């Protein structure tokens, strides 16, 4: 039998590793709390909320905010990440409801619009880019969110096209339609948030209106 012994510094290393793990867990937990406080402050004060108001909501100082979240861009990125996780979770749940591809897409569109209706100031905060980020920048957090939503839509469309005998055009159409639907839904959401619509549609009505545009394209088999 071979007895394995630990070196004299092993206990010190284990203790340090344990402290590092606990500190990292604390930082993660504290960061989550500060992001939740930021979301509450945005809901209360609007998309133009300031760091002082967020710090007050969190019951702390701006110094603590900066320590855990970095600068204002870091705060913005953390809020966008939280919104991203919520949106994608809701979309995945909607996609799993079953039914044909049109029904699933309508459920996903409805889920997105419901979130906008439920949290309009959060939506404005994210989409109006209160910092230096610009639309079209590959590192733009909004760009990453919309890309991931588009990918989910494209996956559902691609599978449908393959299953209905349109495999040759599935890749091109699915990608274009996935991004197009996201653009259409975002434009609709922005339009209704500004109150510019003469007829205020419900979430269900708006989702149905969007889907009616794409239903004919998804119907039927291979094009001749």
The whole-number pLDDT of residue 186 equals 87
The whole-number pLDDT of residue 140 equals 77
- Domain 76-224 carries which CATH code? 1.10.357.10
The whole-number pLDDT of residue 9 equals 56
3-state secondary structure of 80: helix
Report CA Rg, the chain: 23
Q: Is the pLDDT of residue 188 over 50?
A: yes
Same fold: 13-70 with 76-224 = no
> What percent of the chain has a predicted confidence (pLDDT) above 70?
81
Q: Is the pLDDT of residue 39 over 90?
A: yes
Mean pLDDT of all residues in the chain? 82
- List, for residues 125-172, the tens digit of each pLDDT value: 988 776 655 555 666 778 888 888 899 899 989 999 999 999 999 989
- List, for residues 47-102, the tens digit of each pLDDT value: 889 889 999 999 999 998 888 888 888 888 889 889 888 888 888 888 787 788 88
What residue spans define the domains of the chain?
13-70, 76-224
- Write the CA distances from 214 to 45, 79, 96, 155, 207, integer angstroms: 38, 32, 20, 15, 11
Q: Please, which pLDDT band fits residue 7 given cuts at 50, 70 and 90?
A: low
Provide the token pair at 110.
Answer: 């409805």
In terms of CATH architecture, what is 13-70? Orthogonal Bundle (1.10)
């Amino acid at each position: 039998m071979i007895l394995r012994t630990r070196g004299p510094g092993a206990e010190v290393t284990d203790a340090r590793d344990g402290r590092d793990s606990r500190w990292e867990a604390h930082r993660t937990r504290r960061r989550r709390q500060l992001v939740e406080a930021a979301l509450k402050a945005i809901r209360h004060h609007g998309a133009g909320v300031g760091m002082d108001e967020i710090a007050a909501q969190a019951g702390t100082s701006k110094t603590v905010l900066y320590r855990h979240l970095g600068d204002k861009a870091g705060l913005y990125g953390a809020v966008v990440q939280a919104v991203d996780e919520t949106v994608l979770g809701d979309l995945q749940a909607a996609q799993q409801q079953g039914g044909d591809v049109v029904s699933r897409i309508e459920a996903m569109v409805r889920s997105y619009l419901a979130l906008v209706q439920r949290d309009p100031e959060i939506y404005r905060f994210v989409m109006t880019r209160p910092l230096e980020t610009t639309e079209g920048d590959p590192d733009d957090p909004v760009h990453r969110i919309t890309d991931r939503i588009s990918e989910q839509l494209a996956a559902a469309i691609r599978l449908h096209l393959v299953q209905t005998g349109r495999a040759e055009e599935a890749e091109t159409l699915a990608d274009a339609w996935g991004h197009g639907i996201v653009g259409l839904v975002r434009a609709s959401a922005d339009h209704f948030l500004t109150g510019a619509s003469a007829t205020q549609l419900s979430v269900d009505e708006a989702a149905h209106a969007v889907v009616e545009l794409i239903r004919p394209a998804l119907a039927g088999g291979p094009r001749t």
